[in-house]
């Protein structure tokens, strides 16, 4: 069952050292995928980890690229994305306006950590050509 909003005492600016730590804390349950939630209720959390060329984190909003269409070996976009899988989670969040917890992979010392950026709302979903030339879903989120 998805949980929308803040979890426990964690607040924006908190940094956890791994995806496993995020999962154990109940902040972002899957340890590999970037979107947590369900197609029926929406996305409860996302991670921006510099994996998609079309992701863009700005001061006033962010663009989160949808999933799918990437070659599993090279991780490059090789096909158009579809409105399926985890893209449905974000699209449902657009409909429901439930808040989405946003985490961002950041450099910490000699490694990486995941900073809690806060609660955001999905306000737009656009299907357009991405940097690799294939059609991708781009979800625009704004801070609450």
CA distance 34 to 19: 10
Find the domain containing 100 and state its range: 15-143
pLDDT tens readout for residues 122-137: 999 999 999 999 999 9
Q: Are 67 and 51 in contact (CB under 8 A)?
A: no
Whether 3 is in a domain gets the answer no
**What pLDDT does residue 61 have?**
97
pLDDT tens readout for residues 72-89: 899 899 999 999 999 999
CATH of the domain at 93: 2.30.280.10
**What pLDDT does residue 51 have?**
81
**Ranges under pLDDT 70 in the chain:** none
Tell me the three state secondary structure of residue 135. strand
**What pLDDT does residue 59 have?**
87
If one counts the domains in the chain, the total is 1
Whether 104 is in a domain gets the answer yes
Nearest to 68 by CA among 33, 31, 19: 33
Whether 10 is in a domain gets the answer no
């Amino acid at each position: 069952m998805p949980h929308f909003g803040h979890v426990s005492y964690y607040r924006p600016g908190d940094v956890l050292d791994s995806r496993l730590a995020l999962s154990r804390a109940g902040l972002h349950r899957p340890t590999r995928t970037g979107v947590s939630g369900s197609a029926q209720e929406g996305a409860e959390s996302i991670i921006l980890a510099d994996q998609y060329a079309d992701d863009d984190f700005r001061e006033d909003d962010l663009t989160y690229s949808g999933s799918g269409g990437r070659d599993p070996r090279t991780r490059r976009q090789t096909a158009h994305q579809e409105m399926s899988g985890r893209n449905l989670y974000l699209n449902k969040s657009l409909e429901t306006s439930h808040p989405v917890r946003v985490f961002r992979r950041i450099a910490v010392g000699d490694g990486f950590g995941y900073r809690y950026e806060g609660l955001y709302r999905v306000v737009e979903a656009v299907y357009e050509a991405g940097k690799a030339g294939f059609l991708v879903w781009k979800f625009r989120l704004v801070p609450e």
